[in-house]
Structure 1
Amino acid sequence: MIVSLSSVSLIGLICLSAIVSAAPFAVDSSNNFPNPSPDQIKIIEAVAHGSLPNGKPPAKVENNTLTSLRFIALNEFFEVAFYTSLIANVTQNVTGYDIKEPEAKKSLLATLTAIQAQEELHAINANNALKNFKVDPIQPCLYQFPSTSVQDAITLATTFNDVVLGTLPDIQQLLGAAGDVGLIPGVGSVIGQEDPQSALPFLTRATRDIAFSALNQAFVVKGSCPNSNTIALKIFEHLTVDAFGAKALALHPSPQNLQFSFQLPAGGAKPNWSGLSLAFVNQQNVPVKAQLSCVLVKGNTVHFEAHFPFNGTTFGSGLTFAMLVSADADFSTVPSLVQGPVVFGPALIEVN
């Protein structure tokens, strides 16, 4: 999971589902990752300042638990690629990533290299679990990263870090419900190891489907994953926040209207858009329902506004995500919210 670096102070609104594509990036396999030799694993462990767990795994797990392990492995590959790309950009002094002060650059690269190694261990550990249960491990995809500077990269890391860390408790709950409690301590240790001091007292809750959708919509090059089709999770349709540029960077932590858009599905009967509502999810609170206003259809794109109900407490700073769902969906919990037939999102909004 992405580790947020403490220098982030940007007040911004990030919409990961509408980012500009960059050149595809592959996971570095110079150390035979994701299948390093025992000697290569020792080197990774030394750089990561720790080791893979050496306890005995459970004899078997439920199929839904395998889905969680596959999702974790896929996400860890993305994170390895993200930090590998960032290290390369800083090392090569790419425009936007050049750091003039030698000691500052050295310190940043040391931190990023340790994080990269930790993410490699997380990915190896998840795939080792899959191998133990006699199923194929997940293989890396090609990735795209929209950041053009160190600051952009840190902001991006902060946002997706919040999404993933908000998903891991959902995975823990599912492990417990499946009776696979032996895996809960390992997942919990990842949360503790990677969770920075959040902008919120309680992380915004997400689900595997929400995080899987965000990962695929924003970072995975479509069609590049060898076996992510084995992950039995949904990928929702895109929901975009339309406020960018100066307005996005000047977003104040206050109640206001925000503009969104989505694409009409190709072919077939079009849903009744008057029967949709926007759901805002913030912290561990019940999703907030917002009505669509100023709806305008241009070609195949639907534009609308919705009120962003910031109040600083029950709706605070940090990560909020928005989902477009049926107005009659169950808004009592996040998992029930996304069970309906019409789901667009997540649109990720970060106010720090």
Structure 2
Amino acid sequence: MHTTSITAAALLGLSAFAAALPTTDTSSSQSSEASTVDAGSDAFEFPLANGFPNITAAKDKDIIALIQAQALGTLAQPGNTTANATKPTGASILGQGFVAFNELMEVAFFTELISNVTNNAPGYGPDDITGDRDQILAILKVHEAQEELHQLNAAGAFTKNSGGQVVEPCKYNFPVSNFAESIRLAATFTDVVIGTLPAIQTIFGKNGDAGLIRGVGASLGQEGEQDGFYRQYLGLAPAGLPFNTQSAVSLAFSAVVQSFIVADSCPQTLELFQNPSFTLEGLTLFDVLTPITDLGNGKEDIQDAEFAGTPVQVNAVAVNSLVAENLCITYLNQNNGPISFKAAVTGGSDKKTFTAPFPGRSLGFSGLVITTVTTGTVDGCGAFLNADDVAAATKFGPFLFEADNFIDDLINDSSSSSTTISETETSTAAPTATN
């Protein structure tokens, strides 16, 4: 049995490994090295050796040209994919800002990963990488440069439309200790991004900012191409799901902050998103949710799965989740409707434990599963239509879990079993959710 879980909060438990990863600057790896990070540092810090993110297309054309050459393409030009008939409205601007914020994290991640591979850091040497190491390194450099262009594109649009606001970088820790863990993290968080960008496209559409959709859609396709590479390296089906697991902007925001941001390293940036001046409603940073129960491969029913809820430790506006009552465990998987179970809640003022069913088998969990603790009522959990509804009711989360589909398992299943999905579903009694 393959057992794999990546959690936006539980990943913090691996942060000590990230602190030990060498990230020595070497001039031989072009723009992929951080100029302010050296061996022994406990966090990744911008800028890069090429000045990123403190560069613009207008004043740094030579630098942009080098990034474009490495990225195998050009920075999006206004008028084709990013034109909008009118100035975007508040929530659309917030979406642009979140993309810029998330891309900073991705550039930091890939820069550190490339540095570790280039310098044969422990866990990243030739014996730790399966396949053609030079080819893999070349692909990662392409991805890193493409993320730089994503960030520059979103950051420029955000600054223009928000009245001059700038998304400043944070300091980052990545909770991984070797190459395989790094690729696993890349695959899982790319799944989150793929589930969140459609939420931003939906915001654009609702706000009449349809001219912005094409640009986000273009980067969405690129993220999917990346994900297939990471998944195949891990022995997973490259296309993990027919419909990717839906997410929401606040869920992804919390996942980034809880998992990768060094506490107190960017209070102005977090304040910018939680209390923006350009829109009435900001993003919520939820408290932390981690599993207590071993969820195995995520494909079995567990009647009494336990999760722990604790206050987020990163500088943020308090959500006061520990005093909430009538709480539910809510699951998002694939593009299906959210499902909730009333949670038994125990604990005191510093930590809560939530107990509810985990219906992995009966609901056919596959790929990314997003778990949150949401508000309910005395009698039930309410009916959520989509991830946005879930985010609006969330107090703790997200816990990110991969119910994996390994290629070897698919081969073995097809040769040893003729059981169909419908036969499996009809033979399994699902736990009862409350609405």
In the alignment, structure 2 segments of 5+ residues that lack a partner are 20-41, 229-237, 274-281, 313-317, 405-435
Cα offset for 1:131?
3.5
Amino acid at match of 1:258: A
Cα offset for 1:268?
8.1
Find out whether 1:289 has 2:308 as its counterpart: no
Amino acid at match of 1:286: G
| Whole-angstrom distance in 2 between the partners of 1:150 and 1:62 | 41
For residue 184 of structure 2, what is the aligned residue in structure 1? Answer: 155
For residue 309 of structure 2, what is the aligned residue in structure 1? Answer: 262
In the TM superposition, 1:63-212 aligns within 5 A as: 63-100=90-127, 104-133=132-161, 134-195=163-224, 196=228, 197-212=238-253
| Whole-angstrom distance in 1 between the partners of 2:255 and 2:66 | 32
Residues 319 and 40 of structure 1: CA distance in aligned 2, closer, same or farther (over 3 Å): same
Normalised by the length of structure 2, the TM-score is 0.72
Find out whether 1:336 has 2:389 as its counterpart: yes
Cα offset for 1:136?
2.2
Residues 40 and 103 of structure 1: CA distance in aligned 2, closer, same or farther (over 3 Å): farther
Cα offset for 1:286?
1.3
| Whole-angstrom distance in 2 between the partners of 1:267 and 1:28 | 32
CA contact (8 A) 1:90 1:98 kept: yes
In the TM superposition, 1:23-42 aligns within 5 A as: 23-36=42-55, 37-42=60-65
CA contact (8 A) 2:298 2:360 kept: no
CA contact (8 A) 1:279 1:325 kept: yes
For residue 251 of structure 1, what is the aligned residue in structure 2? Answer: 297
Cα offset for 1:127?
1.2
Residues 108 and 81 of structure 1: CA distance in aligned 2, closer, same or farther (over 3 Å): same
Cα offset for 1:298?
6.4
For residue 234 of structure 2, what is the aligned residue in structure 1? Answer: none
For residue 231 of structure 2, what is the aligned residue in structure 1? Answer: none
CA contact (8 A) 1:143 1:219 kept: yes
Residues 122 and 272 of structure 1: CA distance in aligned 2, closer, same or farther (over 3 Å): closer
Task: Find the structure with the greater CA-based Rg.
Answer: 2
| Whole-angstrom distance in 2 between the partners of 1:42 and 1:107 | 23
| Whole-angstrom distance in 2 between the partners of 1:239 and 1:119 | 29
Residues 174 and 163 of structure 1: CA distance in aligned 2, closer, same or farther (over 3 Å): same
Cα offset for 1:337?
2.4
Task: Name whichever of 135-144 and 278-287 sits farther off.
Answer: 135-144
Q: 1:311 aligns with which of 353, 361, 376?
A: 361
| Greater relative contact order (Cα < 8 A, sep 6+) | 1
For residue 222 of structure 1, what is the aligned residue in structure 2? Answer: 263
| Whole-angstrom distance in 1 between the partners of 2:205 and 2:271 | 25
CA contact (8 A) 1:282 1:315 kept: no
| Whole-angstrom distance in 2 between the partners of 1:222 and 1:270 | 20
Look up the SS of the partner of 1:192 in the other structure: helix
Cα offset for 1:128?
1.6
Look up the SS of the partner of 2:392 in the other structure: coil
Find out whether 1:324 has 2:373 as its counterpart: yes
In the alignment, structure 1 segments of 5+ residues that lack a partner are 1-8
CA contact (8 A) 2:287 2:311 kept: no
| Whole-angstrom distance in 2 between the partners of 1:44 and 1:38 | 10
CA contact (8 A) 1:27 1:84 kept: no
| Whole-angstrom distance in 2 between the partners of 1:288 and 1:308 | 10
For residue 13 of structure 1, what is the aligned residue in structure 2? Answer: 5
Q: Percent same amino acid among aligned pairs? A: 34
CA contact (8 A) 2:241 2:334 kept: yes
Cα offset for 1:229?
2.0
CA contact (8 A) 2:171 2:265 kept: yes
Residues 55 and 344 of structure 1: CA distance in aligned 2, closer, same or farther (over 3 Å): same
CA deviations 1:35-64 (Å, max 9, x no partner) are: 331100000000000001113233511111
